[in-house]
Amino acid sequence: MDNMQFDLLALLPELVVLGMAMFILLLDLFILPQNRSMIYGLSQFTLFASAFFTFKTHTPAVGFAFSHMFIDDTLSDVIKLMMYLSTSLILVYTRKYLQDRNLYRGEFYAMVLFGLLGMMIMVSGHNLLTIYIGLELLSLCLYSLVAFDRDNPKASESAMKYFVLGALASGMLLYGMSMLYGMTGSLDVSDIANNIMQQNKSPVLIMGLVFVVAGIAFKFGAVPFQMWVPDVYQGSPTPMTLLIGSVPKLAAYAMTVRLLVQGLHPLALDWQDMLVLMAVLSIIIGNFSAIVQTNLKRMLAYSTISNVGFIMFGMMSANANGFASSFFYIAAYVLMSISGFGIILLLSRKGFEADEINDLKGLNQRHPWYAFLMLIVMFSMAGIPPTVGFYAKFTVLQAAWQAGFTWQVVLAVLMATIGAFYYLNIVRKMYFDEAVDHAPLTAPLDMRLVLSVQTLALLGLGLFPEILLSVCGHSLLISLQ
């Protein structure tokens, strides 16, 4: 019975999010539309409260719940804290957009919180089924959020694409998991690892691995499972693009650590090869395709694919240094992409999406400060110091080099130069071209303030990367022990 108490303590943040999400869903039925900001406030409060509980209940020791189906370790706590922060930023940035388009409804917030819950479960999943349940909860929320603006045919189309391909990927993941279960007789991540070590590698095991890796690659959007990314990014309303493109990457990373590192490390030599291929292809295809885009969101989608390639560069090293560097990369990337989409949201207004590259023309004349912020984001994505993006690229490249991937590193460096071209193109439009659109900014003060602080943090972390580097490195090392 003592055990049961501990169980619930480990789950406290999840319970808070779950309870609040249901409460918000109910409350929304009873309040007047003009009091909707209460829902917004409650959602932010929920994030704060679960951050508080995650922080308070944190111990260096690993906690389990529900007979090892749920794990509460340092890595999961750190990732969850990052998720709360990112989600909170997203809520700040999306509010105005939703209000302008009559999408400011309680369901949005409930869905975001349920999606967050799904991600938290993925992060803490120590059992194939837990991970899968978390993933499905997240995916269902994301599908419906993409279709949230139901009168928008483009959004419905991309929701459909996302759903069909996403369901396919989930199916593959589940199929792979079933093979792993068949060969090892267990769904528990550590049991699977122990079991594989005691047996010879069989083709079925490798087949299972292939499907699991494919499922992971789909969630990341790595080549050759990248097809959905550009369409969904472009077709979704910008707040949903922001949601899809940022926090779930953290969850996907945690899922990769649980499945590939903690569960399947005896097969590291096999999945390493797959990751190498996907990493290299993602960087090449992502960067080349991004060059020709005229739509900002689509360009950022291809840029995501190339960034995922860099993330895989760290993972393919298949050692702690590599995974720590990927973690740092993702943390930095999530911050960058939230800033980037945040600026798009800031510039958009009723009837104007600001999602074409040409919409940024002459931004320096109109709003030098926001042009400067976008400049930071773009140089950070291009990996130019002194921004955090440089350290992100640096850490994964040094990890890959250490693991002996010499020519891949040189290739990645060449591709980074190509990548710089399309980021520079944005800067060029903002600074060198004449403004075409002269409408004033209508964003509320809190959004401007938070966006400024967050984007300057990209610069701050670029000058002093030590804090984030050590947080990422230590939490991973503690959890892998």
Which residues are at the interface with other proteins (CB under 8 A)? 364, 368, 375, 379, 384-386, 390, 394, 397-398, 401-402, 409-410, 413-414, 416-417, 420-421, 424-425, 427-428, 431-432, 464-466, 469-470, 473
Distance of alpha carbon 313 from alpha carbon 252, whole angstroms: 15
What's the min distance (Å) between Cβ of 365 and other proteins?
9
Tokens standing for residue 296: 């900002």
Distance of alpha carbon 38 from alpha carbon 31, whole angstroms: 9
What's the min distance (Å) between Cβ of 297 and other proteins?
23
What's the min distance (Å) between Cβ of 440 and other proteins?
18
Strand-pair partners of 71: 64
Dihedral of alpha carbons 367, 241, 115, 6, sign: negative
**Nearest CB to other proteins, comparing residues 168 and 456:** 456
What's the min distance (Å) between Cβ of 457 and other proteins?
17
What's the min distance (Å) between Cβ of 338 and other proteins?
22
**Nearest CB to other proteins, comparing residues 221 and 309:** 309
What's the min distance (Å) between Cβ of 150 and other proteins?
42
Residues in Cβ contact with 137 at an 8 Å cutoff, skipping those fewer than 6 apart = 114, 115, 117, 118, 121
Residues in Cβ contact with 31 at an 8 Å cutoff, skipping those fewer than 6 apart = 38, 39, 106
**Nearest CB to other proteins, comparing residues 121 and 397:** 397
**Nearest CB to other proteins, comparing residues 259 and 384:** 384
- The candidate with the shortest Cα–Cα distance to 297, out of 439, 155, 170, 459, is 155
**Nearest CB to other proteins, comparing residues 178 and 425:** 425
**Nearest CB to other proteins, comparing residues 160 and 480:** 480
What's the min distance (Å) between Cβ of 334 and other proteins?
20
Distance of alpha carbon 124 from alpha carbon 7, whole angstroms: 13
**Nearest CB to other proteins, comparing residues 2 and 466:** 466
Distance of alpha carbon 293 from alpha carbon 285, whole angstroms: 13
Q: Is 354 left (phi over 0), alpha (psi -120 to 50) or beta?
A: left
- The candidate with the shortest Cα–Cα distance to 128, out of 209, 18, 249, is 209
Distance of alpha carbon 260 from alpha carbon 173, whole angstroms: 13
